[in-house]
Structure 1
Amino acid sequence: MTNTLLDWKPVSPPPRAPIDGRYVGLQPLAVTLHGDDLWHALQGPDSDSALWDYLPYGPFTERSTFDSWLQDKQSSSDPLFFTVIDKATERAVGLLSFLRIAPADGCIEIGHIAFGGAMQRSPASTEAIWLLMSLAMDDLGNRRLEWKCNARNARSMRAAERLGFMQEGLFRQHAVIKGQNRDTAWFSIIDSEWPQCRDALQRWLSPENFDAQGKQRQRLEELRETRQ
């Protein structure tokens, strides 16, 4: 990009408000409403065994500690946490957030993603992230959407690339997490790239993209490539 003045005005920060989708809804985190379901989804017998491997907190062996952690996240505005509600069961099945919110620069990140085992590799997990992506880029008008993860977290890196984020580089020895070094991989989508990502995500999430057994007809990456 050339060094020219931008026709730019700061955007609004994301509201602490519900977001409705087809498979899931996002609600601002509320411990009294969501605590029981989240404890079951994230720490119960059917939870994802690898969930806490690369997060800077957890796992939680005691419910009281988990609730205290949720209480702290509930009151935060950056990160701004949302609970994922499965619309079929009306139960809370995961968490995710906006963070590093910079309205003056039009830059915002999605992270702190913690999904229960039932959400793994499902349309619901993709839609939950899509709802935040669309809010950030379409409704709020940010210029840049970020995704960061431990460079050893192959699952998170694959998810970023599948969603259309481009890897920008590696921050070596960026942090110490749970006593271990963290090299951080940085990914982003900028506003000029967003329409292609948005189109592919909308087409992938469409009911027409799934057969009677719920199997996808086209992969998200294929849909994005067909519109290049």
Structure 2
Amino acid sequence: MSDIFNQFHQPIGMSLSDWRGAPFPEAQQITGRYCQLERINAARHAKGLYEAYCEASDFRDWTYLPVGPFETFDAFFVYLKKIEEQTDPMHFAVIDLASMKPVGTFALMRIDPSNGVIEVGHISYSPLMKRTRASTEVMSLVLKYVFEDLGYRRFEWKCDALNAPSREAAERFGFSFEGIFRQAIVTRGRNRDTAWYSIIDGEYPTLRPAYDMWLDEGNFDNQGRQIKRLAELMKRA
């Protein structure tokens, strides 16, 4: 991306004179090969999600999230009723197409159509979803929706700088590390430094083939184990 200079010979960045903004996301359902993304609906998703989260042996998965853990179904249902009406964050349930049961959630958030910027967050995957093909396909589907269908310029991932699994996931999915915002917020009565990651529209076309190759049936042996790692495929891309 080369800079353009003004009449004072100052670099002012690449011209975007044709940019008219991006549409606000309105998808109610996005279907892939292994999973389906559906806008959160408490009546339809609460029971299955609560049962999926109860598969965990403890509450460690909630440590870096702004909500939870939910020790009762009623408390979880109230939470889902609240977020199903929100459009930013816009929450989705992840449906496993093999079982047709909800196994996790995420949200599109900090949605900025005028600048073409959007973030993925509130990622909460149950034990039924972790380390499955669906957990990677979610990101593949969202990337396609954000960049190809909506035409956004920047896709962000932010997390607690101490959340090592989230940071590893961001890097595995092809996000570039941009730095640490120190003392960014106060959450749960403690400080949070925030790690910032992003994918921009010019990078997406090189990531797309890696996702497609990783998700292909031919990339898994007869025990369902991956043959080539996503990181390996991205390096080739």
From 30, 36, 39, the counterpart of 1:25 = 36
- C-alpha distance 190-48 of structure 1, shift in aligned 2 (>3 A): farther
2:230 maps to 220
**Are 1:86 and 2:107 counterparts?**
no
State the 1:150 CA deviation: 0.2
1:48-107 C-alpha deviation (Å, 9 max, x unpaired): 742101001110112221111111110000011111111011111110110011111011
Max radius of gyration: which structure? 2
From 125, 138, 143, the counterpart of 1:133 = 143
**Are 1:103 and 2:117 counterparts?**
no
From 162, 176, 193, the counterpart of 1:166 = 176
From 106, 124, 131, the counterpart of 2:134 = 124
**Are 1:200 and 2:198 counterparts?**
no
Residues 27 and 83, structure 1, Cα contact 8 Å, conserved in 2: yes
State the 1:118 CA deviation: 1.4
- Unaligned runs of 5+ residues in structure 2 are 4-12
**Are 1:8 and 2:5 counterparts?**
no
- C-alpha distance 61-49 of structure 1, shift in aligned 2 (>3 A): closer
- Measure, in 2, the Cα distance between the counterparts of 1:84 and 1:201: 18
Q: Secondary structure at the match of 1:117?
A: coil
Residues 55 and 128, structure 2, Cα contact 8 Å, conserved in 1: no
- Unaligned runs of 5+ residues in structure 1 are none
TM-score calculated relative to the size of structure 2: 0.92
Two-structure CA RMSD over aligned residues (Å): 1.2
State the 1:177 CA deviation: 1.1
Q: Percent identity?
A: 45
- Measure, in 2, the Cα distance between the counterparts of 1:30 and 1:133: 23
TM-score calculated relative to the size of structure 1: 0.96
1:169-206 C-alpha deviation (Å, 9 max, x unpaired): 10000111111110000000011111111111111111
- C-alpha distance 47-83 of structure 1, shift in aligned 2 (>3 A): farther
